[in-house]
Amino acid sequence: MAIIHNTTLKPTKLELLTTWLPTRPWYAGSGAPELTKAGGFRLDDPEGEVGIEFMVALDTSGPEPVAYHVPLTYRAAPLPGADHALVGTMEHGVLGPRWAYDGLHDTVLRTELLALFEGRAQAMAQSISDTPDHEVAHSYAGPALPTGPAEITENRDGGTDLTLPDGTLLRVHRTLSAAAPEGVSGQVSAPWNAPDGTRVRSVFASLRTP
């Protein structure tokens, strides 16, 4: 189980994302975002080495708020070959230096996300240690999903597509809404906090099998 430390981060995760988000092709704004954390959940790394978080960052800089889903991994040392996926580095008050990555480029996150689809991994509370998050829902009834290398395509339409070795398309929804995708083989959904205080459930990731 991951231990959540109530301590300082310099810079904060939202400060890192304020710089990183505008560099993404699916970023919907025209300038620097104004971000608040609006929800998310975590998964545990079975080896206990990598932090895995699926964060919702709400941007209120534009005429309409936009909720971005940002999967992140946190490591105690650089991930070899992943410089292109580095979001930034932070100083953790307890753990020391941490390297934050766009988690879709981290095999640990991809493996545990597929396990969540299959019901083999438990979603955990974002900010409380050793506490399952039972609001996160998952569905998939197909064959075992293959782990390993994935072809990653960043799209401008609010999603990142990962093509798995068997041709299955894993889409990570980067901009969240209440609309559900059609014709999918499986999905992971979770609630987040809208600016007016209501809880909105959105699909965070979906599968299309060949």
Q: What is the pLDDT of residue 96?
A: 74
pLDDT confidence of residue 8? 63
SS3 123: coil
Q: How far is CA 129 from CA 66, 85, 90, 114, 132, in A?
A: 28, 27, 21, 22, 9
**Residues of the domain holding 97:** 9-208
Considering Cα of 114, then 103, then 160, then 203, what sign does the dihedral take? positive
Q: What is the pLDDT of residue 170?
A: 97
d(CA 161, CA 105): 12
Q: Please calculate the CA angle 58-61-62 and round it to the nearest 5 degrees.
A: 105
With a CB cutoff of 8 Å and minimum separation 6, the contacts of 105 are 82, 84, 85, 152
3 inside domain: no
Q: Name the residue with tokens 């987040």.
A: 192
Residue 169, both tokens: 């398309």
44 phi and psi, to 5 degrees?
Answer: -90, 140
- Residue 83, domain member (yes or no): yes
Q: Kindly state whether residue 74 falls inside one of the protein's structural domains.
A: yes
Number of domains in the chain: 1
Q: Cβ neighbours of residue 187 under 8 Å, at least 6 residues apart?
A: 138, 139, 140, 180, 181, 203, 205, 206, 207
pLDDT at position 172 is 98
**Taking the CB of residue 109, how many other CB atoms lie within 10 A of it?**
23
Residue 107 in tokens: 């095999």
Could you tell me if residue 2 is inside a domain? no
Question: Residue 93: inside a domain, yes or no?
Answer: yes
Identify whether 4 is part of a domain.
no
Residue 62 covered by a domain: yes
Per-residue pLDDT of the chain (210 residues; tens, 9 = 90+): 565 556 666 799 999 999 999 999 999 998 999 999 999 999 999 999 999 999 999 999 999 999 999 999 999 999 999 999 999 999 876 667 899 999 999 999 999 999 999 999 999 999 887 899 999 999 998 999 998 899 999 999 899 999 999 999 999 999 999 988 999 999 999 999 999 999 999 999 999 998
